[in-house]
Amino acid sequence: MEESMFYRAPGAPTDPNADYLVRATAYDGHVRGLCIRTTGVVSDAFAIHGTSPAATAAFGRFLTGSLLLADTLKNKEDSQTTNIRSDGPIGGMTAVCDSRRNIRGVLHHPIVETTYRAPGKIDVSAAVGKGILTVVRDLGLKEPYVGSVELVSGELAEDFTYYLAVSEQTPSVVSLGVLLGADGVRQAGGFLVQVLPGAPDHVIDALEKRATGGFPDITFLMEEGLTPEKILDMFLGDPEIIYLGAEPVQYACNCSRDKMERGLLTLGEEQLRELSQTEEGIEISCHFCKTNYHFDKDQINRLADSARKT
């Protein structure tokens, strides 16, 4: 069997450049790992929001971390909203994921100044600043689950790690990366490794060593052509790694003309009549995907009619 075939999880897309998430377990089930390629997701986000380099890096890491966190969503209607409110130039970011690994997001200020920590290393924390990371999981229960932590670094991988430590009391390693080229996103991805309760000390030690001992940037490994499976295998270092499966991930919005109409209806009859006075009608743009929905005078008046009836 070819090596490249060996390192493929069941369900991985045949297109070698597609975005997908891989799940694995290692060390007799004591360690759980996820690795994800999000180059397409972050490219789409960049194209939609027109982000400057620092914002692309920050938003890309944020979307990638959100997808890793959303892996526990299982049912069709489950959703997760991650939100950062911060005092840096970006101001804040929001991402919504569903159980089919669709993600959409929005950021307050897509164009921010780009500064560097080192040659070629964008200073993401300078763009994000200090603030709060909040995760809302709606799993179809009476109340959504809400957890939030203060940002500890603003580089985002550390912030997601801290969130997992506090909210799930699970020691985790999170790595996130976005590599930019001259005309867009070259690579984006991340991994999440969790040590489950009862793991032997030698396993914890080995993973800690790898996490702190200069394991290469994930985008460097991706640039070398490594698949998410192979990256996870390298980090975990267990020849007995078991790939549980893979799933495509994508930037996808669920907006529709119907939803926009329902939003307009909440304005009530009076305000809709006022809007219908505008000769050219109105244009509503979706925050997440920038699709424009145009409503002309007659359409707004019809909405006002139905608003009166309800």
Query: Which C-beta is closer to Zn ion: that of 7 or that of 293?
Result: 293
Which residues inside 215-254 make contact with Zn ion, applying CB under 5 A?
A: 253
Query: Which C-beta is closer to Zn ion: that of 133 or that of 255?
Result: 255
> Rounded to whole angstroms, how far apart are CA atoms 287 and 302?
25
Stretch that binds Zn ion, among 146-154, 242-250, 259-267, 280-288 (CB under 5 A): 280-288
Query: Which C-beta is closer to Zn ion: that of 167 or that of 250?
Result: 250
> Rounded to whole angstroms, how far apart are CA atoms 87 and 12?
39
Query: Which C-beta is closer to Zn ion: that of 174 or that of 289?
Result: 289
Query: Which C-beta is closer to Zn ion: that of 156 or that of 286?
Result: 286
Interaction between residue 288 and Zn ion (CB under 5 A): yes
Angle separating helix axes 157-168 and 53-69, nearest 10 degrees: 30
Stretch that binds Zn ion, among 42-50, 148-156, 287-295, 297-305 (CB under 5 A): 287-295
Angle separating helix axes 257-265 and 297-309, nearest 10 degrees: 60
Query: Using an 8 Å Cβ cutoff, are 159 and 147 in contact?
Result: no
Interaction between residue 303 and Zn ion (CB under 5 A): no
Q: How far is the CB of 41 from Zn ion (least distance, A)?
A: 15
Helices (H), the chain: 3-6, 39-49, 53-69, 124-128, 157-168, 201-212, 218-223, 228-236, 257-265, 269-275, 297-309
> Rounded to whole angstroms, how far apart are CA atoms 288 and 62?
15
Stretch that binds Zn ion, among 112-120, 135-143, 217-225, 255-263 (CB under 5 A): 255-263
Query: Which C-beta is closer to Zn ion: that of 45 or that of 174?
Result: 45
Q: How far is the CB of 291 from Zn ion (least distance, A)?
A: 5
In terms of C-beta density within 10 A (0-12 exposed, 13-18 middle, 19 or more buried), how is residue 165 classed? middle
Interaction between residue 255 and Zn ion (CB under 5 A): yes
Q: How far is the CB of 16 from Zn ion (least distance, A)?
A: 29
> Rounded to whole angstroms, how far apart are CA atoms 140 and 96?
15
Interaction between residue 31 and Zn ion (CB under 5 A): no
Stretch that binds Zn ion, among 62-70, 138-146, 174-182, 285-293 (CB under 5 A): 285-293
Q: Which residue in the block uniquely carries the two structure tokens 């499976």?
A: 229
Interaction between residue 191 and Zn ion (CB under 5 A): no
> Rounded to whole angstroms, how far apart are CA atoms 261 and 302?
11
The size of the interface with Zn ion (CB under 5 A), counted in residues, is 6
Chain positions contacting Zn ion, by CB under 5 A: 253, 255, 286, 288-289, 291
